[in-house]
Amino acid sequence: MTEQEILKYCHFYKGEAMIPQSLDQKNEGKLWVAEKAICEDFSHLIDRDNPRRKIAEIVAAYVSKWSPMKFRPIMRTYFEKVSDLEDEIMRSYN
């Protein structure tokens, strides 16, 4: 998928070059970084069958790698936007 197609599924990253100051140092900022990385570096991993689920999986993997101690609170913030995917995604992190 292209970055423009993926942006439709992003809740925090909207194509900005720099993190918005209002998100910096917050859970939302960490999620912004994860979504930006997906758009710029991992777009080839997103399939058209279920892009919402795949993006959520990659966000979870990214956050668990780079912020393992705050993983659950950060992902709670993400799942406020996509609550229907929480059980499915978090099952593999239990």
Residue 92: pLDDT over 90: no
Q: What was the pLDDT predicted at 93?
A: 87
pTM of the prediction? 0.95
Please give the average per-residue pLDDT across 24-30, as a whole number. 97
For 82, which DSSP code? -
- Encode pLDDT of 9-24 as tens digits: 999 999 999 999 999 9
Q: What was the pLDDT predicted at 87?
A: 96
- Encode pLDDT of 41-83 as tens digits: 999 999 999 999 999 999 999 999 999 999 999 999 999 999 9
Task: Considering only residues 93 and 58, tell me which one the structure prediction assigns the higher pLDDT.
Answer: 58
38: nearest Cα among 63, 71, 68, 72? 63
CA distance 24 to 84: 26
